[in-house]
Amino acid sequence: MEKAKESAATAVSTGLRGVVAASSSIGDVNGEKGELIYQGVDIHDLATKSTFEEVVFLLWHGRLPKRTELDELKRNIAASYELPGWVAAVFKHFPADAEPMDTLRTAISALSFSDKESRDLSRAASLRVATRLTAQFPVIVAAIDRARKGLDPIKPKAGLGIASNFLYMLNGEMPDDFDAHVLDVALILQADHELNASTFTARVVAGTLADMYSCVTAALGALSGPLHGGANTAVMKLLIEIGSVDNVESYIKDALAKKQKIMGFGHAVYRTEDPRATHLRRLSKEMGQRKGDTKWYDMTAKVEEVMKREKGLLPNVDAYSASTYYMMGIPLDLYTPIFAISRISGWTAHILEQYADNKLIRPRAEYVGPRNVPYVPIDER
Ligand SMILES: CC(C)(COP(=O)(O)OP(=O)(O)OC[C@H]1O[C@@H](n2cnc3c(N)ncnc32)[C@H](O)[C@@H]1OP(=O)(O)O)[C@@H](O)C(=O)NCCC(=O)NCCS
């Protein structure tokens, strides 16, 4: 028995690849087949038939809502939009050149001071906290963007869904219907992805029975990295640097020869088409056609062609979301916060699941350092 424990503790899987670290009913990724489900429902159905609010209910409750349940969730979200006054005022003191992911992380951490239910980890209270967080993420991201431009925040409209409201609060005018639809689909596609790095982070923190704000603050830190949520902004910077379809082939080949990673391509789990990329590719193309310029879509498609041929790597969720958001006029550094506006639904679903059947997450490390090193007094070193 002791021996079995010992060998389990010393089998290292770098990056925890292939390690099953939790049982979950929230979402599943089949990397070989390129399938993604949320609570059993196929992502292709959700991306073409559902709304982000419906997906939020699905992730939290394990089934699609009845109409009355969906209406209730929307009412609860609308009732939670307003930020505590002091939090809104704090944005004015953030440096104008701060990364929005950093200001979002700081704001969410601060928001916990005003939530008297944050330490109540019961499912009922946690669902209310999750609702407030889901409502307030888009409000905060829009307010952060306006504050750094010296503009006052715009109050959300109670009758609008999260995607429309976010664009409305960002730009101060009602969004184009297609833009709002595209953002809604993008939010659906990014809502959950099993034990990705930020969700795993959230579950590790939840496993200590810390409050939901701590879990989400930690998850935001994980999401900000360029190998995770930060990749979408990096893709757009790359496209801008490449400049034209004609430059793609030589630029990408050159970068690969220098062993550089091309953001938006490759995946830790998918070995075939990422089903989220299927929809974002379609939306990027249609967005370009509607705006009368498919340059950014065409460039991404060319990068896809070269990456497939040269490295056998396929686009992930970030490859085509970049050009899609760019054509909507969204600032580059808001792409990852938008990912967070979506992923808060998955994070909170996983935190609820972790709280409901908790065990502290505490893996082992393979020690590769020296042993029996004598302690030498400081003056003798
Ligand atoms: C997502 C990602 C971290 C998954 O990585 P992984 O499964 O751990 O695979 P590795 O990083 O170990 O890469 C395996 C090989 O493919 C290469 N590779 C993977 N992604 C690559 C990319 N985007 N561009 C160029 N080469 C890439 C690696 O350099 C490595 O090559 P090597 O064996 O010659 O060293 C990786 O594909 C990546 O960094 N992609 C870009 C960032 C990104 O888009 N992140 C968002 C994910 S949704």
**The tokens 């601060």 sit on which residue?**
110
Per-residue pLDDT of 12-22, as tens digits, reads: 999 998 899 99
Query: To test ligand 1's pocket by mutation, which of 237, 258, 260, 265 has the most ligand atoms within 8 angstroms of CB?
Result: 265
Active-site entry in 145, 184, 274, 318: 318
Ligand 1 geometric centre to CA of 145 (Å): 31
Contacts with 186 (C-beta within 8 Å, 6 or more apart), sequence order: 280, 283, 321, 324, 325, 338, 342
**How far apart (Å, rounded) are the C-alpha atoms in residues 105 and 336?**
12
In ligand 1, the atom with minimum distance to the C-alpha of 269 is 7
In ligand 1, the atom with minimum distance to the C-alpha of 229 is 46
Q: Whose CA is nearest to atom 14 of ligand 1?
A: 266
User: Does residue 355 carry a pLDDT above 50?
Assistant: yes
Inter-CA distances, 316 with 50, 261, 304, 339, 347, Å: 21, 13, 10, 14, 20
pLDDT of residue 7: 44
Q: Dihedral sign, CA of 334, 339, 342, 345? A: negative
Per-residue pLDDT of 111-153, as tens digits, reads: 999 999 999 999 999 999 999 999 999 999 999 999 999 999 9
Ligand 1 first shell, C-beta below 6 A: 15, 227-228, 231, 261-268, 311, 313, 316-318
Ligand 1 geometric centre to CA of 266 (Å): 5
In ligand 1, the atom with minimum distance to the C-alpha of 266 is 37
318 is an active site residue: yes
pLDDT of residue 11: 77
- What's the whole-number average pLDDT of the chain? 95
Percentage of residues in the chain having pLDDT higher than 70: 97
Contacts with 341 (C-beta within 8 Å, 6 or more apart), sequence order: 137, 138, 141, 162, 166, 187
pLDDT of residue 10: 56
Per-residue pLDDT of 68-114, as tens digits, reads: 999 999 999 999 999 998 988 888 889 989 999 999 999 999 999 99
- Model confidence, pTM: 0.94
Average pLDDT over residues 237-252: 98
Residue 348 is classified by DSSP as H
